[in-house]
Structure 1
């Protein structure tokens, strides 16, 4: 069997560092997502069942108006955010796994206390942005596919089902290791319609009565 391809980076390290510096600064606003949360948020938008306008998701990501130094900085930073989302869509469309900006292990730490929990919380922020679109049609299937992200995010700890789902360290580690594949599963569910089976050819009528006369 051919070796599995490594996960695809959605931005290079320098670009992520540039986003990290700005999102971690006072100019981004104290309620803005950090670079880990923003990464999860934008991957969710890449998977989302329908397009969310940039004017809407930019406002949600920053939770306000960031203080860009000038129009050039604004274009650079918003361009990087949009390219991260677009690169995620392109990779998933090719069946590739996205590279996530953290090690896929908890090392015995609770998910909500790690970048993994922050990323999943950012992903769920992207879901909340257009929640009805994610759950319309087949609510049960959507809930099943989103459950790992919900459980690891730490946003739903008050719900007993979440504690049962990822409360055991081994179960949580398994979910973390599967996160890139789970993202692809979601993309295939929402963005790739199932193949319509080809219609079977009609059986030919036998020659004779009701059919063509033999010559």
Structure 2
């Protein structure tokens, strides 16, 4: 029996701690994403149907321009963020599940009050950057694949169906368990085009049939 592959870390613990310290500092806007939300945001950008320029997503992640000490720190932080996104692309391209920065269980706590909710909210922020592209073509499939992220994010509490799913502890736990594989499914859905069926070769007609008779 084949074992389930271990999830792939997108940054090591020391690098995540460095991002956490910076994003939690008073040099970053209070509305900026924290390290959990940023992780979800960048994984969404790795999955997204179209590439988003760094000039666009950096401003969205930080909600403006942070107060970097100097250019070296700016390069360091932006490099870590870019590498997290690129590592997600590489892992998903190889069919690996990304390691998510939380345990896959809610423990009876409302999703929006957990790191799971923060991560999913960050993921949805990435979707909102180019929402039309995510739902273009087959809106029903996209909505089905994104439903767990939407429910767990706590951003759609005004929609009764999603609010009910979020409040149902059993259903919410089931959705949490699906997150790693759904991330890979979304990547395959948007980034790996289905193989075109090979054309069926035309059958040759037997010689001497179907043509005009010689006189």
**Structure-2-length-normalised TM-score:** 0.96
Distance 2:202 2:163 in 1: 54
| Offset of residue 164 of structure 1 | 3.1
Q: Deviations for 1:91-139, whole angstroms, at most 9, x for unmatched residues?
A: 0011100000000000010100000000000000000011111111111
1:157-195 C-alpha deviation (Å, 9 max, x unpaired): 111110233331111111111110010111111111111
Alignment correspondent of 2:150: 150
Equivalents in 2 of 1:208, 1:167: separation in Å? Answer: 74
Residue 47 (structure 1) aligns with: 47
Instruction: Give 1:12-161 correspondences, 5 Å limit.
Output: 12-161=12-161
- Please say if residues 29 and 64 of structure 2, whose CA atoms lie closer than 8 Å, have aligned partners that are also in contact: yes
Whole-Å Cα distance in 1 between the matches of residues 154 and 46 of structure 2?
A: 22
| Aligned mates of 1:75, 1:138 — CA distance in 2 | 39
Where structure 2 has 5 or more consecutive residues not aligned to the other structure, the ranges are none
Give 1:34 deviation, angstroms.
0.2
Residue 185 (structure 1) aligns with: 185
Question: Which residue in the other structure is 2:195 paired with?
Answer: 195
| Deviation of the 1:207 alpha carbon | 2.1
Give the alignment's TM-score, normalised by structure 1: 0.96
Aligned equivalents of 2:167, 2:199: Cα separation in 1: 47
Alignment deviations for residues 27-55 of structure 1 (CA, whole Å, 9 cap, x no partner): 12211100000000000000000000000
CA distance in 1, matches of 2:166, 2:97: 23
Q: Which stretch of the first structure deviates more once superposed, 39-48 or 201-210?
A: 201-210
1: distance between equivalents of 2:94 and 2:175? 23
- Counterpart Cα distance in 1 of 2:66 and 2:166: 36
Deviation of the 1:204 alpha carbon: 1.9
Partners of 2:110 and 2:167 within 8 A in 1: no
Which aligned runs of 4 or more in structure 1 are off by greater than 6 angstroms? none
User: Partner of 1:28: helix, strand, or coil?
Assistant: coil
Q: How large is the Cα RMSD of the aligned pairs? A: 1.0
Gaps of 5+ in 1: none
Alpha-carbon distance in structure 2 between the residues aligned to 1:45 and 1:91: 14
